[in-house]
Amino acid sequence: MSDKKTATTEKPNKWTSWDWKTKFFWTEGWGSMALAIFVALFIRWGFFEAYVIPSGSMLPSLLIHDHIFVNKSVYGIRVPFSEDWLMKFSDPKAGDVIVFKYPKDMSTFFIKRVVGLPGDKIYYENGTLFINDQPQEKKVPLSTKDFDWLRDEDFRGDGDPYDGKDNYVQFTEILKDKPHSILLRRGDVYDTFGPVTVPPDSLFVMGDNRNRSADSRYWGFLPMKNILGRASMVWLSCEETLPGIPFLCNPLTIRWKRFFHQVN
């Protein structure tokens, strides 16, 4: 007769799951959970982070309740918990849609479009943006796809219960050869701003909803150190959120066709 050997496995006990020297700790114990949390925080710190669009200042390019991914490494890598650069890869370009810390309250995050780079002369009059004394072309869009997403409710968040979609018109603005959609309010006496020259290490940013955006025309230049990253794509979108939970989409109002929509 041949001897038969039975393989046995040592059952983990409460001490095994806390012993960092064991394989079980790193594969199934508390160490695996710690590693997962570390990886998630590392990705969020240096590469991608999710944000939700809370207002209509970027209509029609970005809708209220669009959930977006922001590329945090496109311009460089920062020192953790700091505005200092660890590595710098590139500078923002005109037309980039960026998320940044609001200069007057660093705990608040804004999203706007870069329209002026250091040294640029910015002037805005009657709905037309001038950069270095050159008017940026504004024309009737070839497609109304961006405008078709809009609802009357999207224009009533500022406290005007009578505002609505019909009060606005969409244009395609050619910003330094890069086209994007903007909104102008019909019949408004358009603001005149400037001229101003963007100082070093700063940007001039504006919302695409030109008459309903608190941007550099009102609170000044954006220091580049405040930039968190560039908006890349919409990964979830909905018309309404769950009652009392403003960051969770109501599944009955999801905008399915905006999934993986690229931010232009």
112 is catalytic: yes
- The one catalytic residue among 55, 72, 112, 213: 112
3-state SS class at 184: strand
3-state SS class at 116: strand
The whole model's pTM is what? 0.80
Query: Which positions of the chain have pLDDT values less than 70?
Result: 1-48, 81, 158-159, 188-189
Nearest to 127 by CA among 190, 186, 188: 190
Q: Which CATH number fits domain 50-262: 3.40.50.970, 1.10.10.10, 2.10.109.10, 3.30.1050.10?
A: 2.10.109.10
Q: Which residues of 131-164 are buried (b: 16+ CB within 10 A; e: fewer)?
A: beeeebeeeebeeeebbebbeeebbeeeeeeebe
Confidence at residue 5, expressed as pLDDT on a 0 to 100 scale? 44
Confidence at residue 3, expressed as pLDDT on a 0 to 100 scale? 46
Task: State pLDDT tens for residues 69-104.
Answer: 998 888 887 777 677 777 787 899 999 999 999 999
Task: Report domain extents, the chain.
Answer: 12-46, 50-262
- The one catalytic residue among 57, 202, 216, 237: 57
Confidence at residue 117, expressed as pLDDT on a 0 to 100 scale? 97
Give the residues across from 181 on adjacent strands: 172
55 is catalytic: no
